[in-house]
Structure 1
Amino acid sequence: MSIKDKVGSARSLWMDADGPDADIVVSSRVRVARNLTAIPFPHLLDLEKSREVTAKIRKAIENTEASELIGNLELTELGELTPLERQLLVDKHLISPDLLNDFQAKAVAIRQDEAVSVMVNEEDHLRIQCLLSGLQLKEAWEIVNKVDDGLEKTLDYAFSEKLGYLTSCPTNVGTGMRASVMLHLTGLKITNQIGGVFHAIGKLGLTVRGLYGEGTEAASDLFQISNQITLGQSEEELVNNLTSITRQILTQERASRKSLYIDRREFIEDRVYRAYGILKNARILTLEEAMRLFSDLRLGIGLKIILGIHDKLLNVLMVEASPAFLMKMAGRELSSHQMDVYRADLIRNEFEKAEK
């Protein structure tokens, strides 16, 4: 599948909702930052030098001796894509929003199944990430580690025996690794416990971000929790720590959902069925309203109030409801009102197909 096919589809492997605890842990992501030795960091490079970096990374990806480690990656310069196609890669979480800035100097390599992507010339020369369904941080790290080893057969990384991997931002120096989980925490939010949970994990070296990472807002009650520390701990320790804390949050979220359903059953059922009914029948839906309704319906699926609808559908709809995907499918610019109508039509049709 070419990258043009990938941006023509809203679906990615992480959306399948078939990983452990996928009812709450929507996805697990591990990313490592790497830079090439003797070459300035990306923000100091002109377009010509940036393309030299891209060429080196392309050569490493195409190294047949490392193909078993790297897998089937296809590298594309972002300048070859339309603005909508670039935005769709962000919406599918295959690249970061920051990669869109000065895109002519940047590129991305994506594996056939979209579980692995390598961003080129973002904040660092390489950012290798793996994105999987559910709580699979260890598995994601093992995949990233293999790809990293494969690329290093050709590339010479900037590395210090004292500090570890050298990165553009000092907070990434050391392992260069960021591990994160995307959690649906609507139970803790409804019961007003979420602030206390976030305060507690902040003391444990973790940070909370929005749906698309640093500097973005939470949407659909989805929050990204990731490590802040990359120096002084091994990759395995960072992964194990985040996994352990995530399991504790899972326990609290499940307890809050159970308590809500016992103590406020009518309130929860009404909230869930209203969301289900509006999504199935609305003729106009803003993105903000759709995301809120997805969260309520996701809660209903988790509590088994709603049967026959799977979390996978909601994961896909989060992308399909985005402005970029709607305009891509329409093949034209859409006004705000047209987009809200098109979104409602698309969601109704997806529910009709799912219920057959």
Structure 2
Amino acid sequence: MIEYTKDIILNSNLTLRRNIEGLDFPATMTLEDSERVIDIFRNIYGEKLVLLEDLDETFLNKLISSFALSEDYDDRSIKMAVVIEDDYVLTINDRDHVAINIMDFNMDMKKALDKSRQVEEDLDRIIDFAFSPEYGYLTSDARNTGSGLEIFVETFLFGLVGSYEAYFGLKQALINDGIYIGSESPLDIKNDIKGLYILKNIGNYRKDFIKYVRKFEEVLDTLVRNERRFRRDYQALNGIKDEEIEDRIDLIVSNLSMGLLKNLDIILKALYELKKYRALDYETKLSSNEIDYLIFNLSKKKYKDNRDEERYQFLRSYMEGR
């Protein structure tokens, strides 16, 4: 792993999406058809195919956070599965009949693309994928129709993108390169930029995807290197002393531990701030894994509103337990 990406590239996934000719997409397919799709892939992969219902929550959460599985996967009454290989994961009957996922590729998108295409070619010898001479490969999301390529890179850019204006300036510049940047923070982006962003490819109509992926790699490398420079100079640029940051960390951890924060926006703002200081090599009491665990679980859609009592109870129980 290239060290300069540490704490900047958090997750990455390159996916090729395909559907089987003659069957409805998963959003509208019947239980019986979903079982037919499962049987097709079980005949290819045997015992390597595992139904989602047989996986534990930790692994399912890993698939969700890595963009390999939809967060609302359990809202549908169809059979879904995964195939776990050493260098790729297939998700079956999620948004499309099959998604070939190359996760945690860090900066090497070209290698991830080559691997996904190799897997797709092997499957194509066995399965007749839905294809239109005019539009290309057909997918449930029209934006992916064409090549079926989907690239997600989760980045933490709190130094490079420190304001609303900087965010939209960067967003416009990336669109020109066929890359979309969106805020992943559950908070209102107009009020507070938190620094957690998703980079995604735009458009599947390109004829030369190798050239496009190379360009994506170059843009990502530039973003990472500039972010590293901004982090190095963070205190000087903002006129902040060590003691001020240490006091702020103590206050945040104390508020979380004493149960003084109940509003989701306020809780997440505090956790993202700890995440930032952690990336700057400050001791934050909570480890990086603990911060990410809390952000993931507190943001789940199962909670009813911004001040859901169950969310507050979960946080309080966790802080007391540790």
TM range (shorter): 0.7 to 0.9
Map 1:102-251 onto structure 2 (within 5 A): 102=76, 104-111=77-84, 116-132=88-104, 134-160=106-132, 163-192=135-164, 193-211=166-184, 221-251=195-225
The question of 1:296 aligning with 2:294 is answered no
- Identity, % of aligned pairs? 20
- Show the counterpart of 2:244: 270
| Correspondence list, 1:8-47, <5 A | 21-47=5-31
The alpha-carbon distance between structure 1 residues 145 and 269, as it changes in their structure 2 partners (threshold 3 A), is farther
Q: Return the alpha-carbon distance in structure 1 between the equivalents of residues 34 and 182 of structure 2.
A: 29
Q: Deviations over 1:300-348 (max 9, x none)?
A: 34333449987556445544666699xxxxxxxx8343212023235xx
Is the aligned partner of 1:97 residue 2:81? no
CA distance in 1, matches of 2:289, 2:121: 32
* 8 Å Cα contact 1:18/1:133 also seen in 2: no
Asked if the contact 2:157–2:196 (Cα under 8 Å) also holds between the matched residues in 1, the reply is yes
**Using the alignment, how far apart are the partners of 2:286 and 2:187 within structure 1?**
29
CA contact (8 A) 2:14 2:112 kept: yes
1:259-316, CA deviations, whole angstroms, 9 ceiling, x for partnerless residues? 4321324268634652366337723255544543343333334333449987556445
1:81 CA drift (Å): 7.0
Corresponding residue SS for 1:186: coil
TM-score (norm 2): 0.76
TM-score by length of 1: 0.70
- What CA distance in whole angstroms lies between the structure 1 residues aligned with 2:57 and 2:233? 45
**How far 1:222 sits from its partner (Å)?**
1.2
Q: Does 1:342 align with 2:317?
A: yes
Does residue 58 in structure 1 map to residue 42 in structure 2? yes
Cα deviation for residue 178 of structure 1 reads: 1.0
Paired position in structure 2 for 1:279: 253
- The one-letter code matched in structure 2 to 1:340 is L
Q: In the superposition, relative to structure 1, how do residues 263 and 87 fare at CA in structure 2: closer, same or farther (>3 Å)?
A: closer
What secondary structure does 1:75 align onto?
strand
**In structure 1, what is the Cα distance between the partners aligned to 2:112 and 2:286?**
27
Counterparts of 1:289 and 1:345, CA distance in 2: 19
Unaligned runs of 5+ in 2: 303-308
Structure 2 match to 1:9: none
Separation in structure 2 between the aligned mates of residue 233 and residue 319 of structure 1, nearest angstrom: 37
- Report the Cα offset of residue 187 of structure 1: 1.6
Q: Do 2:45 and 2:83's aligned partners in 1 also have CA atoms closer than 8 Å?
A: no
Which deviates more, 39-48 or 50-59? 39-48
Q: Does the CA contact (< 8 Å) of 2:183 and 2:197 recur in 1?
A: yes
Partners of 2:160 and 2:181 in 1: CA distance: 14
Higher helix share: 1
Give the whole-Å Cα distance in 2 for the aligned partners of 1:26 and 1:315: 10
Change in CA separation of 1:323 and 1:204 when aligned onto 2, cut-off 3 Å: closer
The question of whether the paired residues in 2 share the 8 Å contact of 1:61 and 1:151 is answered with: no
User: 1:83/1:255 Cα in 2 relative to 1: closer, same or farther (>3 Å)?
Assistant: closer
How far did 1:172 drift? 1.4
Please tell me whether the aligned partners of residues 34 and 165 of structure 1 are also in contact (alpha carbons under 8 angstroms): yes
Q: Supply the AA of the counterpart residue of 1:74.
A: L
Q: Secondary structure at the match of 1:105?
A: coil
Which blocks of at least 5 consecutive residues in structure 1 are unaligned? 1-16, 63-71, 326-333, 350-356
Query: Counterpart of 1:187 in 2: which secondary structure?
Result: coil
- Provide the secondary structure at the position in 2 that maps to 1:335: helix
How many residues are treated as equivalent by the alignment?
310
1:181 aligned counterpart, secondary structure = strand
* CA deviation string 1:70-93 (max 9, x = no partner): xx8432155x67999967753564
Q: CA RMSD in A?
A: 4.0
SS at match of 1:109: strand
Which of the pair has the greater relative contact order for Cα pairs under 8 Å at 6+ separation? 1
- Report the CA distance shift for 1:290/1:117 in structure 2 as closer, same or farther (over 3 A): farther
